[in-house]
Amino acid sequence: DGVRLAREIVGMLPWNAQLPARPARSWREPLYPVEELLGVVPADPKKPYDVREIVARIADGSEFLDFKNEFDGQTVCGHLRIEGHACGLIGNNGPITPQGAAKAAQFIQLCEQSNTPLLFLHNTTGFMVGTESERQGVIKHGSKMIQAVANARVPKLTLVVGGSYGAGNYAMCGRGLDPRFIFAWPNSRTAVMGGAQAGKVLRIVTEEKHAKEGKEADPKMLEMLETVTAQKLDSQSTALYGTASLWDDGLVDPRDSRRLLGYLLDICAEAEARPLKGNSFGVARF
């Protein structure tokens, strides 16, 4: 009954009178069936796949204009249309390298200048680590990418299709970077790091702490600590745990991704045409 009453009230408000006539849009369906998304993404999260396989099943006509693919292939950037709406896409084919971060930062700024909404497809373990990566300026270029995401004013949509770990979650416009909408696939995982890695790190830290105190850590205690930590992080990184904790706006069947993204882009486009009016009445208590 509450929903019925809300509909009656909204139906009496002439909100749509101020909107311009909506242009007629037409588009082509993807060349590849969207149902194939269930088989494109491997069941094993450690098995790599090309994010373009997802793009081919959500983009109009399966058309995708790659941006600087020769510069870095692990961070995929490019232009596509979804149900007639143009948008810029940033996806992952693994860790974010220094070159990939710089490329993504430039792409985000170009989309900002052309007022093109951004779509982020998460499947990354985070930023590339190691001596060589640090020499190439991963901190400098990574912060450049996060700064670009944080300052972009165009609509930002996020879809977590795989892993979303560490600082990669921020760089790919996770919940902390305030996307307009964020949804996740049921197979996705979001965490600071993987459970196994966290368990090993905690084990090493505990061993070093005991060594500084001149003590020898109990191997059974270390084994239990590593196992418990890994199990805890694994259980708290699932899509169900994340959506129950309001880390996203809901879970979506991969086969519904294109329809959902088209609907969200439609909402964002209407929001641009429906500006909010300022309050001219001052402060009053009723």
Please report the pLDDT score of residue 77 as a whole number.
98
| pLDDT digits 0-9 by tens, 125-181 | 899 988 999 999 999 999 999 999 999 999 999 999 999 998 999 999 999 999 999
Q: How do the domains of the chain map onto residue ranges?
A: 25-192+237-272, 195-236
| pLDDT digits 0-9 by tens, 196-216 | 888 888 888 888 888 888 888
Please report the pLDDT score of residue 102 as a whole number.
96
Nearby residues of 155 by Cβ (< 8 Å), 6 or more positions away = 117, 118, 180, 265, 268, 271
Average of per-residue pLDDT values in the chain: 91
Please report the pLDDT score of residue 230 as a whole number.
86
Report the amino acid identity of residue 180: R
Alpha carbon 143 to its chain's center:
17
93, burial (CB in 10 Å: exposed 0-12, middle 13-18, buried 19+): middle
DSSP state of 86: E
DSSP state of 255: G
Alpha carbon 97 to its chain's center:
17
Calpha distance 78→13 (Å, rounded): 40
Res 45 pLDDT > 80: no
Please state which architecture CATH assigns to domain 25-192+237-272: Alpha-Beta Complex (3.90)
